[in-house]
Structure 1
């Protein structure tokens, strides 16, 4: 029996969706992205759900694209799936809250960028490492360009450096940074406030807030996916990715 990589639990109007693929640090494999999309669809269609919480098991929220899977071929499918997830999160008729208790890397930041509210523990770190592998954060730029200031975009996109949750909050990537031992309470308080909104009020307000973001994804999503796939297929990126995977296994 195949073990699910994403789980959903619905209680009291809250759908909690948990990434649970510890063997690859919740990388965005084809299975994980498909399962996450299915759970988001189900939560969006459930009239009893008012709020969606996206979180992870284990110590890493998401390590980005599944590079090992992508090297096996069909590299264009992964970028299109990440574009689709960002669009789905941004257009879901329920607020999507992300709880970050562990690191986020590369493509995983697309989930963060598309979400409505993001609460991060102070110990969480972020990095857009694509530039170091001959790649560019093409598909996740669809949501990140709408969140970060232009100067912050240039800094973190070009340097590939690791930055902390306090800086992520300062530049607009996350909503709030809280002490690690206060994360659960902060998320709980946020969900309590969101539950006070009516379904129609929440859906229409989210549509208003995310109008520009959704328009960008609709306009630029396919081109971003093609550009990402082309970069990944390039000799420079293939060599860099192979070296990275070799180091990871050693």
Structure 2
């Protein structure tokens, strides 16, 4: 089986960082079981490595297209939803700061990953959408990381209309932390990473725990309910009608 997440250690020997690359362009980096499991393993590897930060990036047409709906249908949404919730928690609880480098469209479940990251740098041409409501679903599991980050009014509009929104809205709402011209994306990420790797690991770990304590409590308090809600809606006749094209 070809790997869909690549791990690389880079940077100066004294101040290294890890780069995790989603590499499944055939399905626009959808959140398949393989991708989620490999990403969790890569995050664990980075935690055990003597690096100072983690960059999460992607190859291909999109940063992440959301859930692998066909796979979720075959194995059951409860399994898929629980797996995604576990990944969101792994990012929030990771000892090191995780920086998302967002080069292309982000949809549905991918937004949960972006929100879980500590810093999120995107090209200002990137678009975003919580598409769930149009399928008879709701952003249940991804709300666990999204709602502590986004302003309530913007999140409400995005969730309820399921419409596409731009980088300016994503930035002003708190979903991402930086928006730059696409040609400056790598430069912006490098600048942030340089700031992070100038710090001591002990300080980074303690500061991340401080910053994410409330977000982790929010996730832990609601995770089981959101997994159950996701599974319930996915199994409904309304959702099955919309998803019929994905689950052949």
Structure-2 residue corresponding to 1:37:
40
Match of 1:17 in 2: 20
Instruction: Show CA shifts across 1:6-26 (max 9, x none).
Output: 000012311000001111110
- The equivalent position to 2:83 in structure 1, one of 81, 85, 97, is 81
Who is 1:5 aligned against? 4
Aligned residue pairs: how many?
Answer: 244
What is the root-mean-square deviation of aligned Cα atoms in Å? 1.2
- The match for 2:139 is 137
**1:159 aligns with one of 148, 161, 177:** 161
Please list, as runs of the form range in 1=range in 2, the aligned pairs for 1:105-124 lying within 5 A after superposition: 105-124=107-126
Please list every run of 5 or more consecutive structure 2 residues that lacks an aligned counterpart in the other structure. none
Which residue pairs with 1:28 in the alignment? 31
For residues 19-43 of structure 1, the C-alpha deviation after alignment (integer angstroms, 9 at most, x for no partner) is 0111111000111100000000110
SS of aligned partner of 2:144: helix
What TM-score comes out, normalization by structure 2 length? 0.96
Displacement after TM superposition at 1:178 (Å): 0.3
What secondary structure, in the 3-state scheme, does the structure 1 residue paired with 2:88 have? helix
With 92-101 and 217-226 compared, the bigger mean Cα shift is at: 217-226
For the residue of structure 2 that corresponds to 1:62, the secondary structure is coil
Task: Write the distance in 2 (CA, Å) between the matches of 1:73 and 1:14.
Answer: 35
Displacement of 1:59:
1.8
Q: 1:150 and 2:149 equivalent? A: no
Q: For residues 243 and 36 of structure 2, what CA distance do their matches in structure 1 show?
A: 21
SS at match of 1:72: helix
2:75 aligned counterpart, secondary structure: coil
Moved over 3 A (4+): none
- Secondary structure in 1 matching 2:169: helix
CA distance in 2, matches of 1:182, 1:51: 20
Q: Structure 1 residue 73: deviation in Å?
A: 3.2
Partner of 2:100: 98
Quote the offset at 1:231 in angstroms.
0.8
What's the secondary structure of 1:225's corresponding residue?
helix
- The answer to whether residue 203 in structure 2 is matched with residue 201 in structure 1 is yes
- Measure, in 2, the Cα distance between the counterparts of 1:153 and 1:195: 32
Q: In structure 2, the residue corresponding to 1:18 is in which secondary structure?
A: strand
